[in-house]
Amino acid sequence: LLTVLNDPTAAAVNTVSITIVEGDWAKDIAAKIEAETNVTADELLTLWNDADYLASLKDRYAFITDEMFSDSVRIYLEGYLMPDTYIFYKETDAKSVTEKILDQTEIVFEKYKQQIADSRYSTHQIFTLASIVQYEASTEEDMKMIAGVFYNRLNIDMALQSSVTVCYAIDFEKQTDNWTACEVNNDFESPYNTYKYTGLPPGPIMNPGSAALDAVLNPTTSNYYYFMADVYGDGAVHYAETYQEHEANVQKYLR
């Protein structure tokens, strides 16, 4: 075995390693795959928006539900492309690539399947909220805290007012966007804009990892309804129960 494993001529030279990171957009993932294989980004994005193809996979992947196929959803598989490192053949096809990723999503989904079934929210809603939490938080502790804040808002039909949903609505390039660009466009017309519309957006706004899913299923309970990150300092997230307390945090850390 050691002889074979140490033989460089036995290595698979026709494969590539591609890493999907937490927070990648579907279009980012498609571009990564296009750069390393013969499959184009357009082929992948077209397939990821093919309702008939995806519906045919329902028996194979339990997380695929009719709720994904809303007319308002930008990309049906946004949020369901599980972050991980994948090995693909350089010469392959869009379906093989897609189903390899979805196989990993199913593995993670199975871990949380019962918790999702026991929650008040659908699979699609859980993945959607997890995507927002993923975008908003950088640590697992803050993911759980922020998930709890969002549940507090949802429970009283209070708008989530998450600027990251505006980033997705406007389709800012993630290399150039920043929190101020999203904040100043909170009147942008889109069903994804959680300043204009209460409840969750039509679908996920990025692809969350396992930690974000865990956070929305096991949130930290609090009386907080507001939070903000010290983007000019150490990045710490500060929470508040009232708008007045939140404004004081904004004045202290962002002005």
Q: pLDDT (tens digit, 9 = 90+) per residue, 178-216?
A: 666 777 788 899 999 999 999 999 999 999 999 999 999
Write phi, then psi, for 161 (nearest 5 degrees). Answer: 50, 50
Pairing of strands 15-20, 237-240: unpaired
143, two tokens? 């993911």
Encode pLDDT of 93-103 as tens digits: 999 999 999 99
Strands of the chain (E only): list them.
15-20, 84-89, 226-229, 237-240
Residue type, 136: E
| Integer Cα distance of 67 and 51 in angstroms | 11
Residue 69 pLDDT > 90, yes or no? Answer: yes
